[in-house]
Structure 1
Amino acid sequence: MVYPKSTRLIWLPAAISLALLFFNGCLEPRDEGPPTTTINNPPSGAVVHGQVPILVSAWDDKKVETIRLFVDGLEVTSGNSDNLNYLWNTDPIADNQDHHITAYAIDDDGNIGASAITTVRLFAPATGDPLPPVVAVQNPLDNQTVSGLVNIAVGVNNDVNNPIDSVAFYIDGVHKFRDTQFPYIYTWDTQNLVNGSQHTIFAIAYDRIGFNASSSVITVTISSAVIGNITPPVVQIANPINQQTVSGLVSVVTRVENIQYNPVDSVVFVIDGFRKFRDTSFPYIYEWDATNLPNGSRHTIFSVAYDREGFNVSSGVINVTVSSNVIPDVTPPTVNLVFPAPGANNIFSVSALNSITVVADAQDDMGVDSVAFYIDGIFKGSDNTPLYQYVWNFSGYATGIDHTIYVRAFDTSGNVGAAFLAVRLDP
């Protein structure tokens, strides 16, 4: 049947509309939502020093194309994935000033998502100031081949007047575990990882003043549990046993099995996260001197066996308690603010005064090591000479509101006493 021309013209717009509807339905709608961008480390408000790992993650309902990282408005690096890790060397700056970190994620439709601004202060230590911790991954070692359950042990050397709050473990830039108790150990299960794959490990230590410091990044290679007919060794602590009480000179004995076709090269002994001794001959023994350790203190022990095929395997971690004549000092020092003093009319006019000298008194039966001063929660300085003082310059502080003076006294055993006081600054 042939329709009249006029009828065909009536149907033409309808046909075009149907075709357009079909065509548009086949097209994927444009992604109008920007990615979500987060700076996971450092936290805003942190006081940082040295090598600072900046960790950024981004999420998009389709695909994150690029992440760009800026410090103080200048781009420092970029990457083409949904995670970006950058080690920021602050040593050339170290100016005791605030710095701002921002990240931008771009999805494959060009939408841009900005992170919140992270503000950190770069610490330049002066004489007498508490120092940030120094962090190192003690086990495994860089470029090592690992398999099975791997005990990642982190050693932290910190100022005695600057106790550690926690240590965070990162594998491939992803936070895995935070340990709040010494020693700092995380057991990483590598059994389902791809043979020959490489992975990065680092740790960040956070202290109680507000510093955080990173270890160097190490790289390890995964070895499957079985290669041909060769299996990795089985490692156990034979002495002491878990939860045992020990004293004096302790023989730490490691037993290694499954070595008939794959001789052991050496055994490393790790106590409280620190490598103490490497034994290259059977029997594998380390004489640990616990004589001068505090009575009742708890410690962890594990061993790592290395064979001649490149395997290294950790034992399980055991815990022991020391019995000794050394009585630990657990009493914190007492600390009081002398000026400004509690109960006084602590209102200061910035037009009359540029600064005040904050004075604190601290006492301890074993001796005071130092006193740290904070204004509005930000560490400002420390003093190790009584009476303990800090000159607070009012420049840059808002008037018409209260500000908090906070002091922390540290004794020679690392115990901490604290006091605080609110004062008001007027015009």
Structure 2
Amino acid sequence: MMKRRFGGAVGALLTLAVLGCEGMPQEAAPPLEALGVAESPFTQVTSFGTNPGNLKMWKYVPANMPANAPLVVALHGCTQQASAYPNTGWSALADQLKFYVLYPEQLKENNTNICFNWFEPGDIARDQGEALSIKQMVDKMKADHSIDGRRVFVTGLSAGAAMTLVMAAAYPDVFAGAAPMAGVPYKCATSMNDAFTCMSPGVDKTATAWRDLVRNAYPSYTGPYPKISLWHGTSDYVVKNTNQTEALEQWTAVHGIDLTADVNDTVAGYPHKGYKDAAGNVLVETYAITSMGHGTPIDPATKFPGGTVACGTAGAFILDTDICSTWYVAKFFGLDNSDAVPPTVSLSAPANGATLSGTVLVTASATDNVGIAKVEFSIDNTLVGTDTASPFEYSWNTAAATNGAHTLVARAYDTAGNTSTSSTLSVTVTGGISDTTAPTVAITFPTAGSTVAGAIDIAATASDDTGVTKVEFLIDGAVVGQGVASLQAGPYTYNWNTTSYSTGVHNLQARAYDAAGNTAASATVAVTVDQNSVRFTERFSNAGPDNADWSITEWALDASDQTGVTGSQSILGSATPSFNTVTRTASVSVTLTSNPRLTYWRKLDLSGANTSASASFRVVVNNGTDNVVDSVTKSGVGTITEANWTQRADIDLSAYANRTVILKFIVTATDTGSTLTRAKAWVDSISVGPPSASADTTPPTVNVTAPANAATVSGTVDVTASASDTVGVNKVEFYIDGSLADTDTVAPYVFTWNTAGVANGSHSLMAKAYDAANNVSTDNDTSVTVSNTSGGTTTVTFSSIAADDGYVKANADGTSPAVGTITTPAVGKGTDGKLNRSIFSFDTSSLPDTATIMRASLKVTLSSSSGDPWADPAAGNTLTIDLKNGTFGAATMETTDYAAAATAAGVAELIKFTTGAQSSADFNASGLAAINKTGKTQARLQFKQNPSGTAYVFLTEGTGAVLTVEYK
């Protein structure tokens, strides 16, 4: 049985789209026979029905299966085989929880990229094509095994995720739940061309329109629909995460529930929302996996609760993100029915409303009918600590927190993965950091002097040294609302309906707040509201066109109307060739303003009847192929249809600003072999006016270029990245194992990494690029192996002695030295005008007396900061390290430590870092000689250039400061 094969240029393009985020394709799995599948619970089933989709069937049957067990259908992504998808952990979890797993497999002759054909009408309808083949596989499993028909579920990745929602829509009588990983709404596309738009930037429909697509898949069905768990990475640029929002709208509407989240929490540090029906059942849920690209999230470092097997194996499109989607989906499906009772948890100290200073013990009590796995502690919604044994507690150094109000919460997990959250406590910190640095904020759209009309998006960027908590928008001095961070790193946006404001000048401002209550207002942006700046509007009223100069003799007025107003119309262009080419044109003369944008609504019906046929729709300014501003073309057999009206917004016509032009809407069809090809288009609600949103929504591109993926590195290496953007790259951030290591603002983008600061073994490298509009992209597909033990050397690490650590301060001339009053070491210039120097103490006596020290470095961790000492007094400031063989005076802090002579001065430097940890360069020879093999070694840190203003950093003592020594 053969199906149409998708290949050629379109197939190649789809391959690039699918591989664009994660880089390398999945390696082809070895033949299953080579894996010994004949004796494995993973086996092929060769006969399971008529199989109209021409798919393969594989099943996984754990040992000792009980009667009436559940079934999970797991659908692989593009470029994968069925044998790759068990790496997500489904087979291993099936062994533990006792359910069957069905793995359908796409064939290359059906799709060159081995994608399920989720965009082909013949494969996504009930009882047709691939959808029917998968349903027949389920029937075969039910015939061969004792399966509970009420507990059949489906999940999948990418194209498999899209097919997951196909199965949920087409067979709601078969499936009780569905969990797409990086998928798209059902019937988002019905052709390959539409598929690309659906994947990125996504398709926007109303919740009702999305719902109806599902309802019409099985119109006679009146029973319950599957519950849906939607997973998506926020940095997925292969299938944009706007699809998660659209799928949420679709399936909440299908279930008849609203879009207000009834559950709003974090799971393993990631945002999770649940949407309940009137009975309190969560029928739709979403997980937004922050900074993850395209793939299925797993957690190989964690075993399944109650079991001995880890959650999956990382690989291409199966991503280690420290959250086990397989487990949480299984829980959502109810497969872990051994324990459905959540734990109880409450914070027992400090007291609600307490005023705190110094180091405070935050304690929680937690109980469960089976057992508590862990308790997480969060401060101001940020996870700060985890305890796995009672008494559950976290030691909080409030001196490193900002003065003022803070919120505390505890979250308990039982051994089955059930969770519960304590009530929130509010406390006030004194004696902490006085954060007096206000955020920065600026309005990026509209620009000063612009003319605006209709509804527009005001956009602003904001940043702060401790974090932006909210951004308010003001119009003419009055707060009108808070901004929503529309992208991962901003900008903040507010939709302003200008029609309720008078014609004339209005002043826009944005105000940003940080966690300490500091605020800053942007510069005022004056814009002119003028609804008449929309110089051209056309609704095609009952009497015909509203504007003169139309030529629609080749098109016709049509009763189909985008607005739905009785008696109003649209225009319809129809080209049906008979062994020739037919072109139909509707045109109008339009006088354009400065910076003009075109917006209109359309419906299309383009169909090709043979391989040489084509059908197209174009919007053209004046004449010529170079003047096409919008177009859709269908070549060869197939259709492109838009069943509902689609808005095409803010098409840039600035190349023709301040001119009178002819705006043309054209349908063309060619068919040299039949009379069946057609090109039809409906057009309505045309307007030309000023832009309504920022033109720059395109993220930059970024790629880690060195070291190479899978490389082995040692010593000090340069991590480099390439980045580009249509407007310009503002900065590139470098991350080691998910922690920010450095930032570079100028190409070539590079970070010098002292690998001795991390343990030997595998480490992940990631780069993030930001453009001027704060669009962001991520490259996180590089892993390297650190090996610093070759050549007969030994590498050891020493954490600092927290009781000895601290800082001393003095005037710029060294007079009036004093010991710092906050336990957290500080470096820079404090609010008292004195310069701070931090001292860390290490017990290095375990080094062999005969050791020859080959290399050494110091890693420190940022606690908090005020101002930017790295750029004060001049950009490029660094921290410099002095070493003392022994201690500068006594082991603990004393005033003489400020100016005491070092055994070796300036042994290494640390470059700028604004979060996480940073390692120094390797110590010089005098620094190596200053390390004490028989007692303590102390390190004193200060800025190479003393800050001229108040600017300092707090560094974390204890495990936050690590001395790494390599010796032989």
Say yes or no: TM over 0.5. no
Bigger relative CO (Cα 8 Å, ≥ 6 apart) = 1
Structure whose CA Rg is larger: 2
The structure with the greater share of residues assigned to helix is: 2
The structure with the greater share of residues assigned to strand is: 1
TM class, shorter-chain normalised?
A: 0.3 to 0.5
TM-score by length of 2: 0.19
